[in-house]
Amino acid sequence: MGKVKGFMEYQRALPADREPLERIKDWQEFHKEMAPAELQKQGARCMDCGTPYCHTGFMLSGMTSGCPIHNLIPEWNDYIYNGFWREAYDRLIKTNNFPEFTGRVCPAPCEGSCVLGIIELPVTIKNIECSIIEHAFAEGWVEPKKILHRTGKRVAVVGSGPAGLACADQLNKAGHSVTVFERDNRFGGLMMYGIPNMKLDKKLVVERRIDLMKQEGINFVESTEVGRDYPADKLLEEFDAVVLCTGATKPRNLAEEGRELQGIHFAMDFLRSSTKAMLDESAPVLSAFDKNVVVIGGGDTGTDCVATSLRQGCKSVLQLEIMPKPHLDRQLDNPWPEWPKTFKVDYGQEEAAFMQGDDPRKYSMMTKKFLADEKGALQAVEVSRVEWVRDNGHFAPQPVAGTEQIIPAELVLLAMGFIGPEEHLLQQLQVLQDERSNIKATDKTYHTNRERIFAAGDARRGQSLVVWAILEGRSAARECDRFLMGYTSLP
């Protein structure tokens, strides 16, 4: 696996990104490609581990450790080191339907659990993965596969995010006739309208994969919301099985004084509006132009709001996080192979630092209320610092008296995550929900309380990563196939 002592000879290296002051002028992807010879060196760093935790994929201390879809990482790293690109591609797609998605937007828990990471910087798994699939597309190896046998069974997949697409792809390979319903005017779910174009190109990457799936025989129905545009009870009349992959799209709110003021929006509404306007210039846009922007919440969505605000020409942007600033290195209570809770600078923060002279994030900050001007429009946010203290055995944030401050803001974006799936369709289908409001379906069968209805993705497990959604879609497809046929050959 890789080169003997390769990790001792070569240092971790990533391809250069476009310069921040250049890339904020457009919506194109900001990563550059790495030369094949350099990629071989990075593949050479993959050690002959006794136990390669990178592809174990399990939850540890409430965080993802390793690759949930069990990518055969050491194997394709070895192939890349030896220059066998076709073999690397063949191994990659055995476990991952869409490596072009995960290679761009996955936070790479595989790298967080890389054995080399104990003593050195981990192997650049994510970049190698993305390079393999893009090389495969360039060489023409990624072709629509002809389905030789059809079972006569019809399956409806509701939702075209990563879980829905993975489920549809697998069921189609099994020979079933699959129809994917999407309420938006374009397919991809979160990957289309929730992730900005500079991280995941819509036409060159997302639509490229959708077009391929269409050629393989999957039927896609856009601008159709099941339960509103398409009667819910009609699903079970026209299809032999249904898989719900609707996502966890209910955003977490912030019920502080002044929340009703105009100018306070959920992050996904902002990002969706921006991408729609980029793809269709006639679409209305929720703009940050010439405004002081405050993003409340961290994570990838908060970063995307920062980067999008800069590209729209905001006056300034700040990002408030209620958690303390992470340490630079792993702490004793965060050992390998847990996901490293260490300080990281993502693309949006890097861009803001270049534009404003400093990282836009302010840590241990709590929002107290929103302030209006004399005309009733949002003009500022009142915040205070917090300390995390133990309360009944749990740590909780407590405001620090005397640390209150007013931050100018004409636009506030709430990026605090999601609390579960929307419920109107579930109620119409009489599908049960668990105590967290997610669709109730077991990890083993993905079956809901309704006989022919399955569930997968964030709608079932709660807000999570794209790679978990792909695993969920694959797993639900396997169990749906078993239900329809009495057996299954799907992995």
**pLDDT by 10s per residue, the chain, length 491:** 678 899 999 999 999 999 999 999 999 999 999 999 999 999 999 988 888 999 989 999 999 999 999 999 999 999 999 999 999 999 999 999 999 999 999 999 999 999 999 999 999 999 999 999 999 999 999 999 999 999 999 999 999 999 999 999 999 999 999 999 999 999 999 999 999 999 999 999 999 999 999 999 999 999 999 999 999 999 999 999 999 999 999 999 999 999 999 999 999 999 999 999 999 877 778 999 999 999 999 899 999 999 999 999 999 999 999 999 999 999 999 999 999 999 999 999 999 999 999 999 999 999 999 999 988 899 999 999 999 998 887 889 999 999 999 999 999 999 999 999 999 999 999 999 999 999 999 999 999 999 999 999 999 999 999 999 999 999 999 999 999 999 999 99
* Cα(126)–Cα(257) distance, integer angstroms: 43
Domain boundaries, the chain: 6-139, 154-249+419-485, 253-416
Whole-number Å distance between alpha carbons of 186 and 361: 33
Domains 154-249+419-485 and 253-416 alike in fold: yes
Residue range 154-249+419-485 forms a domain whose CATH class is alpha beta
- Check: CB of residue 417 under 8 Å from CB of residue 252: yes
**Considering only CA atoms, which of 372, 402, 397 is closest in space to residue 387?**
397
* Burial class for 408, CB neighbours closer than 10 Å (0-12, 13-18, 19+): middle
What is the CATH architecture assignment of 253-416? 3-Layer(bba) Sandwich (3.50)
Give the model's pLDDT for residue 417: 95
Q: Which helix (H) or strand (E) holds 381?
A: strand 378-391
54 neighbors 73 (Cβ within 8 angstroms): yes
Q: What is the pLDDT of residue 1?
A: 64
Question: What is the separation of C-alpha 207 from the centre of its chain, rounded to a whole number of angstroms?
Answer: 17
| 6-139 homologous superfamily | Alpha-helical ferredoxin (1.10.1060.10)
